[in-house]
Amino acid sequence: MMNIVTEVSAWRTIRKTLSHKSIGFVPTMGHVHEGHLSLCRRSHVENDVTVVSVFVNPTQFNQASDFDAYPRTVETDQAALREARVDYLILPEVKDMYPDAYQVQVVETALSESLEGKCRPGHFNGMLTVVMKLLNLVQPARAYFGKKDYQQYLLVRKVAQALLMDVTIVGCETVRADDGLALSSRNARLTPKARERASQWARLLKSGQSPAWITTQLIDLGFEVEYIADQWGRRLGAVWLDDVRLIDNVPLEMVSRGEQ
């Protein structure tokens, strides 16, 4: 049976009863899909207790309209997480996560400056701040992050280590739809026509061609390209299709083989 916790104080009381258990933690912003559920299943295998949070974090959005449009599906999320045998679901309020009105922030000054950090100023400050708060609150042995947001995964791992947090940050490979598109909560905002075109994004990213060639092809297909770059052993990219922003990455060894 999954327990739903909406108050930080209530979770702290529960956490004291779990001191003898190993805890796996999956932080999410909701609109749960198979990618999230794969993290939950791995946590269930590797830990005594699995905890998931659903919190649409306002401080990591660059545009208020993007925050407002982000899909919120709490009831279906709960059903999916129950089926995945999650033990605790934490649904915190903004006022509880930011009692200081975001006056205290977690900032990284090197890895966060490129790619996503350059395109989305302040995004990583908000993400790191809320993730470190959640890790401090849940106190898991392991926390699970999908590698679709690869720069985010690297940053969370780096900052947790720098802050001497007793947690293992586990990176899990991207889960994809049948057409190759990385699963993302934002995909729900794509129109059927745009969703069909979006599959070309994943195909071109691992095509074995140069970033410049891929950029030209994507522009011809109607994408707005923010970046495509080879870094950290991956080929990473971010594009806009209509008003939806998509990010993805693939290992460079996959690119070199031109896998489809």
Burial class (CB in 10 A: 0-12, 13-18, 19+), 13: exposed
Query: Active-site residue among 20, 31, 36, 123?
Result: 36
Q: Which helix (H) or strand (E) holds 2?
A: none
CA 198 – CA 221 distance, rounded (Å): 10
> 33 catalytic, yes or no?
no
Closest CA to 44 of 83, 74, 13: 83
* Direct distance between the N- and C-terminal alpha carbons of the chain, in angstroms, rounded to an integer: 41
**Dihedral sign of CA atoms 237, 37, 87, 141 in order:** negative
φ/ψ of 179, rounded to 5, equals -90, 5
Q: Do residues 210 and 185 touch, judged by C-beta distance below 8 A? A: no
CA 1 – CA 16 distance, rounded (Å): 19
Catalytic residue positions, numbered = 36
